[in-house]
Amino acid sequence: MMKMTIGVSTLLAALLASPAVFAHGDVVPHAVDTTGLDPLGPEWRDENPYRGNPTAIEIGKHAFAANCARCHGIDAISGGIAPDLRKLDKGSLGDEWFQERVRNGAVRNGAVYMPKFAEPDGPLSQEALWAIRSWLDTVAIDQ
């Protein structure tokens, strides 16, 4: 019989080195190519300008997987780490709350629950973020 030679510290090191232990998907934010979407400029829109736009939905699907799924779950099905974004209001109320969170993140008592995602503090353009919002609409469920 083979003897197990892996020590506890080795196992621990492997666990700590593996982001998959904590969440699904990638850890590093990914730049998103928004070619094909109307540029929006730096001024934030109150409402999603791409709602129902098939190009935005496709871009948003991948952008979500690369940037948000590690906390909010693959296909936005939350594993409990962060809110289930399928339950976000589908209308302008949801747009407002979405914008609030992706621009400001969620920080309480100095603890970062969600980092800022919108440029210039975060990695993603307004275009990329509204694309994600457009995709979220397509997987929304009634609460």
Instruction: Name the residues that contact ligand HEC, by CB under 6 A.
Output: 67-68, 70-72, 82-83, 85, 88, 97-98, 101-102, 106, 113-114, 117, 132
Question: Which of residues 19 and 54 has its CB atom nearest to ligand HEC in the complex?
Answer: 19
We find the least distance from the C-beta atom of residue 71 to ligand HEC, in angstroms, to be 3
We find the least distance from the C-beta atom of residue 102 to ligand HEC, in angstroms, to be 5
DSSP state at residue 19: G
Angle (CA) 88-60-126 rounded to 5° is 85
We find the least distance from the C-beta atom of residue 63 to ligand HEC, in angstroms, to be 7
We find the least distance from the C-beta atom of residue 68 to ligand HEC, in angstroms, to be 3
Question: Which of residues 53 and 67 has its CB atom nearest to ligand HEC in the complex?
Answer: 67
Question: Which of residues 19 and 36 has its CB atom nearest to ligand HEC in the complex?
Answer: 19
Sequence-distant (≥ 6) Cβ neighbours of residue 91 within 8 angstroms? none
Question: Which of residues 14 and 22 has its CB atom nearest to ligand HEC in the complex?
Answer: 22
We find the least distance from the C-beta atom of residue 90 to ligand HEC, in angstroms, to be 12
User: What secondary structure, in 3-state letters, does 75-99 show?
Assistant: HHCCCCCCCCHHHCCCCHHHHHHHH
Tokens of 63: 């952008």
Question: Exposure string (b/e) for 92-123, b if CB count within 10 Å is 16 or more?
Answer: eebbeebbebbbebeeeeeeeebebbbeeebb
Question: Which of residues 11 and 97 has its CB atom nearest to ligand HEC in the complex?
Answer: 97
Neighbours of 40 (CB within 10 A): 16
